[in-house]
Amino acid sequence: MDAPVKTAKKPKAEAPSGVKIKKVGIIGAGQMGNGIAHVIALAGYDVAMNDLKKENVEKAIQIIDKNMTRQVSKGIITQADKDPALSRITYAANFEALGDCDMVIEAATEDEAVKRRIFIDLCPKLKKGAILASNTSSISITRLASTTDRAEDFIGMHFMNPVPVMELVELIRGIATEDETFATARAFVDSLGKKTAVSEDFPAFIVNRILLPMINEAVYTLYEGVGTVEAIDKAMKLGAHHPMGPLELADFIGLDTCLSVMQVLYEGLSDSKYRPCPLLVKYVEAGWLGRKTQRGFYDYRGEKPVPTR
C-alpha cells in the first residue's frame, strides 16, 4: 500500500530448488491478487487463481498480460520470461481445485468476516502441511489463524501495492506459527526477488501503522479546511518529496481499505489518535472509493483527475 516506484528486480526463470513450494493458490483476483499472481508466476511457480466469478480471473489474467508486456517494453523482463509465466496461471473453479497447492495466499477484501468464512470453507480442501497465508494489511494473524485447522502453518504475508513494482513484503507470525513455516515463507518471498520486513502481530503491522494515520491526518486537514485537495497533495509532494500526495495515494489504495485499516487501528489500540476522519467515512458511504470507482478525493472520469473538494 505504498506509492509506486520505477524499478523492479528481474525475477528468476524457474522455481528455486531450496524452496519447498511448487504450486501456489491465490484466492481473490482483484488488484492485489493479480499482482501477487504476476510475481509468483514470473518466479517459476505454478499458480491457481480462485475468485467468486470466473470472469474476474479472466480479467486478472488480461491485466497480468498487459503489465508483463509493459515490463518487456522497459527491459525488466524478456518475452521468453513472459510467455511461460502466463501459461503457469490457471483458473481454479472452486476450493477443491486448490487441494494440490503447497501454499495458498488469501487476497480477498480487507474484511475479517469474509476472510474467516474463506478459511473455514477452504481448510478441509487443503492437503496436510500446505501453508496458508493471508495478505491482510491490518488484521490479527493470530485471530485469523484460530479460524483454521492449521494455526502452526498459518502466516501473514502482506505484499505492497502495486505488487510487481514494490520491493517489500511484510511477514507476520501468529502466536502459533511454527519456525519451519516462517522459514519456508521467508525463503519463498526471497525467491520472488522481494525483501522482507518482519512485523509483530499488532494492528496494521509496520507499514500501515505509520502510513494510514498520515493519510487519515491528511483527510482531517481537508475536513478542517486547512487546505484543499490540490494544496495538501502539492505540499507533501514538493515539501516532503513524496512521490504521491496522501489524498492521491488514498485514492490509489482505495478509500474503503483506508477506512478498514483505520478502524482496525482504532478498535485494536483504543487510542483516539486513530479515529477515522468523518470525511473519510462519508466518502466511503457515498461509494466514492477512489480510482476503482472513478471518484474519491479526485474525479477520474475525465481526461485528467480533478479534485472533488
117 & 251 share domain:
no
65 & 45 share domain:
yes
**Full domain range(s) for residue 261:** 207-307
211 & 181 share domain:
no
189 & 215 share domain:
no
Q: Which residues are known catalytic residues?
A: 137, 158, 170, 208
Residue 171 belongs to a domain: yes
Residue 20: per-residue pLDDT: 84
User: Considering 153, 182, 199, which residue would you say is the last residue of a domain?
Assistant: 199
129 & 213 share domain:
no
Nearest to 216 by CA among 269, 257, 160: 257
67 & 215 share domain:
no
239 & 184 share domain:
no
| Sheet containing 131-134: order of strands | 89-91, 46-50, 23-27, 103-106, 131-134, 154-159, 168-173, 195-199
Stated pTM of the model: 0.87
User: Considering 174, 199, 224, which residue would you say is the last residue of a domain?
Assistant: 199
Residue 169 belongs to a domain: yes
- The number of distinct structural domains making up the chain is 2
| Inter-residue contact 85 to 68 (CB < 8 Å) | yes
Residue 11 belongs to a domain: no
Beta bridge partners of 169: 159, 196
Per-residue pLDDT of the chain (309 residues; tens, 9 = 90+): 444 444 444 444 444 444 589 999 999 999 999 999 999 999 999 999 999 999 999 999 999 999 999 999 999 999 999 999 999 999 999 999 999 999 999 999 999 999 999 999 999 999 999 999 999 999 999 999 999 999 999 999 999 999 999 999 999 999 999 999 999 999 999 999 999 999 999 999 999 999 999 999 999 999 999 999 999 999 999 999 999 999 999 999 999 999 999 999 999 999 999 999 999 999 999 999 999 999 999 999 999 999 999
Residue 9 belongs to a domain: no
176 & 101 share domain:
yes
User: Considering 199, 215, 232, which residue would you say is the last residue of a domain?
Assistant: 199
Residue 227 belongs to a domain: yes
CATH number, domain at 140? Answer: 3.40.50.720
Residue 16 belongs to a domain: no
> Which residues, including other chains, have CB under 8 Å from residue 231's CB and lie 6 or more apart?
none
Could you say which DSSP state residue 3 is in?
Answer: -
118 & 168 share domain:
yes
Residue 19: per-residue pLDDT: 57
78 & 161 share domain:
yes
Spatial separation of the C-alpha atoms in residues 193 and 168, rounded to whole Å: 9
Residue 17 belongs to a domain: no
Place of cell 493519510: 215
192 & 214 share domain:
no
CATH number, domain at 263? Answer: 1.10.1040.10
**Cell of residue 268, nine digits:** 485494536
Spatial separation of the C-alpha atoms in residues 292 and 280, rounded to whole Å: 16
Residue 204: per-residue pLDDT: 95
Residue 6 belongs to a domain: no
158 & 215 share domain:
no
